[in-house]
Structure 1
């Protein structure tokens, strides 16, 4: 299957809705989002970029139909920067559109372009509303004024049980939500991640959920979900590493602050450097450097300034 053996692999969401052979699924999703009734998948042009990915997973789908350009992304981690990501993505899509249609933006005649819309499908573990509108202007450093640009991301919670009306209109999206929910459920029952995914796939096939898709692509789906959850594990490990590094850094700063304070007290008592080093059981070279940073007036030492200077020691 194309897409599975690339360096940056597709998510199952992208496979379900972004592959040419399944563009009928994308048409159904577009209709569900827009209240339209398009029936011919060939009227829809998949317009997804090839080089957009999050970590090592491609999670985007884009299409053009009837002069509308729909941008869609799947996220399993909450990200408040989605409007900016979508804005940049849209810029790349419009660059592509201008080149492919040989548009001259320097003409006096107004160039008409497809109307954009940007959806983010979220199914992470963080509790979020069923529907949120995120604005790019929330990230502006200066309050919005006349002439300012706006771009929005419509974030839809697709955890199973949310947005029921949308799910009723798009059975493929509902099936995807059920499959992910079952993976999460089975992962609570077993530490074997692979087994949990296989159990969820079997459950869906036995209960008529995405049955044709899963029967045809069982191994690819397993591979994709394994990589998705490896990505999740990587994020958790990174958080743990940053936390531990933060603790270590905080502990080191605390120790240095204590050392500077002790040196200041001993300098106030006019003790020689060798004696200070012996009493504190520290290297005399380090004590000498700290004393130079403290200066001639230890009673008025700026400890925070000395701490900052110690970073270079």
Structure 2
């Protein structure tokens, strides 16, 4: 595969819905699809995405303040991550910090804060339910009927073959899903030129045509970043499995040795007690000397 300039930190999903010149139009379509609304003006949208450097300089989040009343935090993922509620909690806390000055939080006036919503748009290869709800309380060590803190993240499978309802209601998301499908097919056939071929195929089929015509080079760089990220995550998970297996084997061996020693010591006690019993020594004295119980001693032949 060709080496490209990797100065782009965003994924295609993020660029399409957060950074591109038409990102607000695309996100408004997504918002309408999520809420069954029909807003036409992007003036209700304010991009409040945090500027940060994430893992491997790869950013994957989209966040908007909608009509000053709702914060929508959307994350795109190709791997399943059950810890998204915790990540979203950290993220939205930082967002609230940027929306209100410190002194406002100490005033007597009751602050009105935007209501948050959390979504993960999943398009990984591993099968996953079309709509899944992850909750922060799933990770709590102590289970209760009611929790003082809760956060829910809706995971929506946007793979094109799942026929997700939201794809039919949001054209930009549907086209993005078709684009990802084209990338996967072409990369499987041609690792060297797969990205370029996928872009040409999509332009020909009128899939994200305007976007890809304007930003083909940038898209290639972002795709390389995404695939490098996925590869690195896969390697890390494989290493974690190997470490866990090695630690399990080591622990198992250690436990086996300890068990063997314990069993050997116990067997020695039984043999010693049996010898004393044959000599006619009192069972209570044998038990006291060997550490066995009287019933164990009396059960010996």
Contact 1:53/1:60 (<8 A) preserved: no
Partner of residue 185, structure 2: 185
CA distance in 2, matches of 1:258, 1:36: 63
Q: How does 1:197-212 map to 2 (within 5 A)?
A: 197-212=195-210
Partner of residue 80, structure 2: 78
Number of residue-to-residue matches in the alignment:
262
* Structure 2 unaligned regions, length at least 5: 1-5, 265-301
Contact 1:82/1:153 (<8 A) preserved: yes
Q: TM-score by structure 1 length?
A: 0.74
Partner of residue 156, structure 1: 156
> 1:255 and 1:173, CA in 2 relative to 1: closer, same or farther beyond 3 A?
same
Deviation at 1:142, TM superposition (A): 1.3
Deviation at 1:54, TM superposition (A): 4.0
Q: Deviations over 1:68-119 (max 9, x none)?
A: 11111111110011111111111111111113xx761233332111111111
Q: How does 1:80-99 map to 2 (within 5 A)?
A: 80-99=82-101
CA distance in 2, matches of 1:81, 1:119: 13
> 1:133 and 1:202, CA in 2 relative to 1: closer, same or farther beyond 3 A?
same
Partner of residue 31, structure 2: 30
CA distance in 2, matches of 1:180, 1:64: 27
CA distance in 2, matches of 1:239, 1:147: 32
Deviation at 1:243, TM superposition (A): 4.1
CA distance in 1, matches of 2:20, 2:217: 19
Deviation at 1:135, TM superposition (A): 0.9
Deviation at 1:255, TM superposition (A): 7.6
Deviation at 1:17, TM superposition (A): 0.4
Contact 1:183/1:196 (<8 A) preserved: yes
Note if 1:111 corresponds to 2:111.
yes
CA distance in 2, matches of 1:247, 1:136: 28
Partner of residue 172, structure 1: 172
Aligned-pair RMSD on alpha carbons?
3.0
Larger radius of gyration: 2
Q: TM-score by structure 2 length?
A: 0.76
CA distance in 2, matches of 1:240, 1:258: 27
> 1:222 and 1:63, CA in 2 relative to 1: closer, same or farther beyond 3 A?
same
CA distance in 1, matches of 2:81, 2:234: 15
Partner of residue 128, structure 1: 128
Deviation at 1:134, TM superposition (A): 0.9
3-state SS of 1:143 partner: coil
Partner of residue 236, structure 1: 234
> 1:52 and 1:160, CA in 2 relative to 1: closer, same or farther beyond 3 A?
farther
* Structure 1 unaligned regions, length at least 5: 266-313
> 1:68 and 1:103, CA in 2 relative to 1: closer, same or farther beyond 3 A?
farther
Contact 1:52/1:60 (<8 A) preserved: no
| More contact order relative to length (CA 8 Å, sep ≥ 6) | 2
Deviates further, 203-212 or 41-50: 41-50
